[in-house]
Amino acid sequence: MTKPTSLADFRFDPESGSDYIDAAFVAIEITRLLREGDSKAVAEFLESQELADVAAYLEELETPDAMTAVRLLPLHDQAEVIGYLRPSSQLTMATQMTRRELARLMSAMSHDERADLYKVLDPEVQAAILPALSQAEREDLRRLAAYDEATVGSVMTSDYATLGPEMTATQAIEALRAQAMEAETVYTAYIVDEARKLIGVVSLRDLLMARPRQRVADIMDTEPVWVRASAEQEEAARLIARYDLIALPVLDDADQLVGIVTADDAMDVAEDETTEDIHKSGLVGPFETSVAEATIAVLYKARIYWLVLLVFGNIFSGAGIAYFEDTIAAHLSLLFFLPLLIASGGNAGTQSATLMVRALATGDVRPADFGRLLGRETVIALALGLTMAAAVAVIGVWRGGPEIAVVVSLAMIAIVLMGALIGMSLPFIFARIDRDPAAASGPLVTSIADVMGVLIYFGIATALLGL
């Protein structure tokens, strides 16, 4: 595709690169048009675009231009676009609005995104906004905003569609039509009793396929999948993925229906969860904001813990080396192989731990499978160790003669086997003692494998070279 030279050429094109849109280019064009006073062209362009892309353009604009641009959209689109912005951009725009404008916008937002926006506002703005909202909106906002971060309650929304059990399929579809403007989804509807307890779930598809006079109570699923509002948010994502749901009902501790989690929000939760797991395996602790927006202090705090902890872990490796100082002094050529042997144990261990941590996370492997997998891992590790021993034997002969080659080869086999078995076992041990297996990857494994590697290498050397 050729690069667009004006907004008129600008089309969604998945083959133009992985960014889909050149937001920076669009932002420059929008700025130019706005400065020229041609807000009609901007409005037409924005209306032709997906709202997720409009949000990307707004992120690139100067704040006054972004405010002008967003006000060109119909209120309903404004409300949706705001939900796509980064929290810091949401805050910037919200503080540029009058209280009345902000309240009008918040009334139009979906309930979960409204609560998320509310949470990033300054306390004074929060207090100023509440009186401008309706009684129902205020209560809804307070309720949703009250859930702890990381719980299902903090990601659910309360604008779900409800039906009565006595309605016919035709009446139910009519009822969904009436709720379609407000509800987050009409493809799944919820049936509650007088106490707001969930008694069933029905899909719009099943309503369409039913006979027109069939009652909702006879069509609905009376034992639907659900989740507790106080559960961890990943639980909702896991249930939605497992049961291929469009939305998942959320119950409070009294079993009352309080909200739903939609599949698209679940995908976001799953992505955040994966990011946290990946960070953990890369020695980075959890932090709230995105990497792009994190401050120096936040990143320092997320990183220093493991770095210092591992320094102390490596003191044992140093002590191991110091213990064998006589052997080393007598055979300084042994040092050449030290990094290579130590690193191999850690690398093999990292591989095993990575495979097991991820398989446990996705459910591909269960804690009970440990015994069965241990045998396979032993065979694989021996095969890997033998291959690598053959490689280093050649280097051993060349650098230090046949004796050193034997020491290095034997050490390689033992170290790779040791590293792989530690790396494989640790995630299972963590799962058994109810800790997150992800914490068992990289850091701990390499640290333990380092110490063991030093002891194995110089132990074998001391024994075979006769000191």
Q: Which is nearer to a copy of itself, 101 or 159 (CB)?
A: 159
Other CB atoms within 10 Å distance of the CB of residue 100: 10
Closest approach, Cβ 461 to a copy of itself, in A, equals: 14
Residue 238-257 contact track with a copy of itself, rule CB under 8 A, x = bound: xxxxxxx-x-----------
Q: Per CB under 8 A, does 452 bind a copy of itself?
A: no
Closest approach, Cβ 121 to a copy of itself, in A, equals: 23
Residue for token pair 């083959």? 15
Q: In what order do the strands lie in the sheet with 247-251?
A: 227-228, 247-251, 257-262
Taking CB under 8 A as the criterion, which residues in 193-212 touch a copy of itself? Answer: 204-205, 208-209
Other CB atoms within 10 Å distance of the CB of residue 131: 9
- Show the tokens assigned to 92: 């910037």
User: Contact 105/79 with Cβ under 8 angstroms?
Assistant: yes
Q: Which is nearer to a copy of itself, 97 or 173 (CB)?
A: 173
Q: Which of helix, strand or coil describes residue 264?
A: helix
- Show the tokens assigned to 196: 């707001």
Closest approach, Cβ 184 to a copy of itself, in A, equals: 11
Q: Per CB under 8 A, does 11 bind a copy of itself?
A: yes
User: Contact 446/353 with Cβ under 8 angstroms?
Assistant: no
Taking CB under 8 A as the criterion, which residues in 268-327 touch a copy of itself? Answer: 268, 270-271, 274-275, 277-279, 281-284, 290-292, 296, 299-300, 303-304, 306-308, 310-311, 314-315, 317-319, 321-322, 325
Q: Per CB under 8 A, does 374 bind a copy of itself?
A: no
Angle among Cα 426, 429, 433 to the nearest 5 degrees reads 140
Q: Per CB under 8 A, does 391 bind a copy of itself?
A: yes
Residue 403-442 contact track with a copy of itself, rule CB under 8 A, x = bound: -------------x------------------------xx
User: Contact 156/259 with Cβ under 8 angstroms?
Assistant: yes
Closest approach, Cβ 164 to a copy of itself, in A, equals: 18
Q: Per CB under 8 A, does 397 bind a copy of itself?
A: no
Q: Per CB under 8 A, does 365 bind a copy of itself?
A: yes
Q: Per CB under 8 A, does 328 bind a copy of itself?
A: yes
Choose the binding region for a copy of itself from 29-37, 61-69, 126-134, 354-362 (rule: CB under 8 A). Answer: 354-362
Phi, psi of 227 (to 5 degrees): -145, 155
Q: Which is nearer to a copy of itself, 217 or 373 (CB)?
A: 373
Taking CB under 8 A as the criterion, which residues in 104-133 touch a copy of itself? Answer: none
For residues 367 and 352, what is the distance between their CA atoms, to the nearest angstrom?
Answer: 15
Out of 392, 410, 421, 422, the residue judged to bind a copy of itself by CB under 8 A: 392
Calculate the CA dihedral of residues 124, 233, 201, 159 and round it to 10 degrees.
20
Phi, psi of 435 (to 5 degrees): -110, 165
Taking CB under 8 A as the criterion, which residues in 14-43 touch a copy of itself? Answer: 14-15, 18-20
Beta-bridge partners for 198: 192
Out of 30, 133, 163, 176, the residue judged to bind a copy of itself by CB under 8 A: 176
For residues 221 and 224, what is the distance between their CA atoms, to the nearest angstrom?
Answer: 6
Q: Per CB under 8 A, does 186 bind a copy of itself?
A: yes
Out of 353, 421, 422, 440, the residue judged to bind a copy of itself by CB under 8 A: 353
**Which DSSP symbol is given to 201?**
E
User: Contact 34/68 with Cβ under 8 angstroms?
Assistant: yes
